[in-house]
Structure 1
Amino acid sequence: MISLSAFIGLRYSRAKQKNRFISFISLSSLIGIMLGVAVLIIGVSAMNGFERELRERILSVIPHGEIEAAKGPFYHWPDVVRQVENDPQVIAAAPYINVTGLLQKGNTMKGVALRAIEPEREDKVTNMSRYISDQGWQRLSEPGQNLVLGKGIANKLGLKVNDNVTLLLPNLAKGNKLAAPKRVNFTLVGILEMGGQLDHSLGFMSLATGESLTEGVNGVAFKTDDVMDAVTITRRVAFDSGLLVYIKPWVFTQGNVYQDIQLVKALMYVILFLVVAVACFNIVSTLVMAVNEKKGDIAILQTMGASHALLRNVFIVQGLLNGIVGAALGVILGLGVALNLTEIFNLVEQILGRKVLSSEIYFIDFMPSMVEPLDVVIIAVVAVIMSLLATLYPAWRATQVKPAQQLGHG
């Protein structure tokens, strides 16, 4: 019975419709499903790409967690570092000093958030060194006042490697009154280039230099074995330290980016599945009109002994074919674009003559894409299931045709 239903349903699908409007509605439903599936695959792949870049770029160069002294520096910071590393979920820890000031080159000035670190320890916590040119990371430990700056800062000040630049720091005189700022000359030994926001705001100096300019180490950064549980681990580390500290897991500093990606991804599923649903409603319209047009054929089949199940399956097959073909074409189109999304986006930027994703605003300056096979399967299967559900009412209508009325009327 199933093979007979499939045979008749496929014949109806291939047959030239007498009513061109039915053909138009049928084609529009197929195109709607195809576009819905394709756009959903492209959109989800882009969100997967952003999530991957967030993990591989941002979360690889920022600590998973930090504790900062609430009052004064950590006077015995080696002990604090050892205590942090004693936590079973902490892989490594490193001291740092936050230094905020103004960089001056000629008449150009730029505010920066500098970080004084020990390169050897910091390498165990982050992968920042892989984004720094000209051996700048290693040169930070050399004698002298050395500095590594983000590419955006260097470009703003017109700096190149081995150029000199002046750092202006606030200077509190007696009575907490501001005096003339401290002026410290530095040599640029490397440039940080990640292609994102950090290029425009971050710089590094050696811990020894930072200690000479400030009261001392004011924070300890660390890497955990579970980046998604960083909040719990950071709170535990802070509590176990017994010190009055601020807790700064990555979720507090960069979590808004991750949450935005998840929110957009969820909304994209909802919105684009609604697009597919609208296309599936066209299947309902197509099949209802097809049933009305084929009432005579249905009556003849009934007089020949066709059961209600057979008649239902005929129109289920006819409608389901649109869903399967639309989903298949959508997968092909979606994969074709998603696998080449970065190149296509770069071409669009070249045509427009400007950067759509500016590194001054976004954490990356290109459109990433990562196709997850499971996402593609889920999207295609859901589209086919929605198409199947759309056929149920018209298929039921086909079983309500009265042979005596139809043949008598004929």
Structure 2
Amino acid sequence: MFRPLELFIGLRYTRAKRRNQFISFISTVSIVCITVSVMALITVMSVMNGFDDQLRSRILGAISDATVSGLPGESVQNWQYAMKVVRDNPHVKGAAPYVEIQSFLQAQRSSGAIVRGIDTAQEPDVSDINKHMIEGSFDSLTPGSWNIILGKDLAIQLGVNVGDRVTMIVPELRATPLGAVPRLRGFRVSGIFEMGMEEFDSGLGLVDMQDAEKLKSIDGPTGIRLKLDDIYNAAPVARELADNLGQIYQVTTWMDSHSNFFSAISMEKKVMFIILSLIILVAVINLISMLMMLVTDKQADIAILRTLGSTPASIMGMFMVQGVLVGIFGIGFGVAFGSLLSWRLPVIAKWIEHVTGVTFLSPDVYYISEVPSKLDWHDVTWVALVTFAFSLLATLYPAWRASRTQPAQALRYE
């Protein structure tokens, strides 16, 4: 089979037993270093993706992808019309009205909290709090029951459990014969949920929407929570809904309330990629050392090839083949081992915790108790391309030095 001369000789040099065994050792070390670097980068990127996915799912499990609201502190005007408009949008997969109350809860101890009045029949269309109940029943929130469901940490702060009573104080004054007093109402704790996020577990309570309307003295919800088909498409959908609804409605998205948080995670991922790419660059330096030693070892062969008519470009190509092959082997092993490690990392982490007794992510400190990992083939492709580019650049100088070899000087002492 016909093969280009540069490829044929480059592959032959790669397979041949060298006089200088140290060159073979350096070549092996180069492959190992590139493999370890690629494997580490893929694993770290997968862990970052896992944390991002876990946090995003937990946050978006309690908040909505988008929210339609009226003026601050007031109910949504003609909210049935607004519900019809948003549900007619093809990107909206679910909609549920709600009433939000800034309140002060009091039992054995007291704590401030956001109390959200919801319709238990429609709320599962926009959130998954009902899937995170650890005590009581989500369906216990019925009109006139005056029941309340609390986050786990909030219940601990108040010192209550299911069946206990709490008093809600709404900082809105109402006129009485004794003067202006804040609104008070007693509630029975009928359930406790745990989302795994401090923001919600320690500061959110749920009541029936009609009970919340009576307590707040309004005749409709303060907003409509939406579930979209694509959370990353929230901004253009919000603009479209705002145009269709009119100026008396405000449409916000999850990006408006948590954009800084997810931007920080994205920036951290990019910084980690850059830092670990420098580790790959350090590993590639071994490749430069190996090729420089190989060029010195093959001075006589280069001189003979030049006298037989090989051009400098041809000589350069022969040595680039070897460098690129080392890079390809390192990338191949690194991608294989890195993908396998990323895939099985949660299981491996649990096994290490079981054997050593050391807990990597203590549930008392962190909201994610398991090491997450999510392999993204887009990241794997970028890692492979960057490593290949570094390997290719590392071959240029040694190959250029080989192409500059003068046959007469190289053969003088042979």
Bin of the TM-score, shorter chain as denominator length: 0.7 to 0.9
**SS of aligned partner of 1:335:** helix
- Does residue 80 (structure 1) correspond to residue 65 (structure 2)? The answer is no
Partner residue, 1:317: 321
Tell me which of 195, 200, 203 is aligned to 1:201: 203
- 8 Å CA contact 2:146–2:188 kept in 1: the answer is yes
Tell me which of 95, 104, 107 is aligned to 1:105: 107
- 8 Å CA contact 1:200–1:360 kept in 2: the answer is no
RMSD in angstroms over aligned alpha carbons?
A: 3.3
Tell me which of 384, 398, 404 is aligned to 2:402: 398
Tell me which of 320, 323, 330 is aligned to 1:326: 330
Partner residue, 1:384: 388
Q: 1:127-276 counterparts in 2 under 5 A?
A: 127-134=128-135, 136-141=137-142, 143-173=144-174, 181-197=182-198, 198-216=200-218, 217-276=221-280
Separation in structure 2 between the aligned mates of residue 336 and residue 231 of structure 1, nearest angstrom: 36
Say how many residue pairs are matched.
Answer: 404
- Matching residue's letter, 2:162: V
User: C-alpha offsets along residues 193-252 of structure 1, whole Å, 9 cap, x if unaligned?
Assistant: 222232222221100110121032221222233322222322333343335344321111
User: C-alpha offsets along residues 147-179 of structure 1, whole Å, 9 cap, x if unaligned?
Assistant: 11122222333433333333233242559xx96
Separation in structure 1 between the aligned mates of residue 300 and residue 90 of structure 2, nearest angstrom: 76
Separation in structure 2 between the aligned mates of residue 67 and residue 149 of structure 1, nearest angstrom: 24
Separation in structure 1 between the aligned mates of residue 249 and residue 362 of structure 2, nearest angstrom: 37
- Does residue 116 (structure 1) correspond to residue 120 (structure 2)? The answer is no
Partner residue, 1:15: 18
**SS of aligned partner of 2:173:** coil
TM-aligned CA distance change 1:359 to 1:113, over 3 Å: farther
- 8 Å CA contact 1:68–1:247 kept in 2: the answer is yes
The alignment-based identity, stated in percent, is 33
- Matching residue's letter, 1:232: P
TM-aligned CA distance change 1:181 to 1:348, over 3 Å: farther
- 8 Å CA contact 1:349–1:356 kept in 2: the answer is no
**SS of aligned partner of 2:82:** helix
Partner residue, 1:47: 48
Instruction: Give 5+ residue unaligned stretches, structure 2.
Output: none
Q: 1:100, CA displacement in angstroms? A: 1.8
- 8 Å CA contact 1:8–1:314 kept in 2: the answer is no
- 8 Å CA contact 1:5–1:313 kept in 2: the answer is no
Tell me which of 365, 372, 375 is aligned to 1:371: 375
**SS of aligned partner of 1:120:** coil
Separation in structure 2 between the aligned mates of residue 234 and residue 405 of structure 1, nearest angstrom: 74
Q: 1:76, CA displacement in angstroms? A: 4.0
Partner residue, 1:34: 35
- 8 Å CA contact 1:92–1:224 kept in 2: the answer is yes
**SS of aligned partner of 2:374:** coil
TM-aligned CA distance change 1:67 to 1:359, over 3 Å: farther
- Matching residue's letter, 2:20: Q
Separation in structure 2 between the aligned mates of residue 167 and residue 337 of structure 1, nearest angstrom: 50
- Matching residue's letter, 1:113: I
TM-aligned CA distance change 1:158 to 1:322, over 3 Å: farther
- Matching residue's letter, 2:399: A
Separation in structure 2 between the aligned mates of residue 183 and residue 366 of structure 1, nearest angstrom: 42
Q: 1:354, CA displacement in angstroms? A: 6.4
- 8 Å CA contact 1:74–1:219 kept in 2: the answer is yes
- 8 Å CA contact 1:32–1:275 kept in 2: the answer is no
Separation in structure 2 between the aligned mates of residue 53 and residue 297 of structure 1, nearest angstrom: 58
- Matching residue's letter, 2:290: T
User: C-alpha offsets along residues 242-288 of structure 1, whole Å, 9 cap, x if unaligned?
Assistant: 35344321111122333233323333333322322232233223312
User: C-alpha offsets along residues 87-136 of structure 1, whole Å, 9 cap, x if unaligned?
Assistant: 44333322211112222231x22221111011112222233322224562
TM-aligned CA distance change 1:347 to 1:183, over 3 Å: farther
Partner residue, 1:290: 294
Separation in structure 1 between the aligned mates of residue 391 and residue 115 of structure 2, nearest angstrom: 57
TM-aligned CA distance change 1:401 to 1:347, over 3 Å: same
Q: Which moved more, 1:377-386 or 1:137-146?
A: 377-386
**SS of aligned partner of 1:85:** helix
In the superposition, the TM-score normalised over structure 1's length comes to 0.84
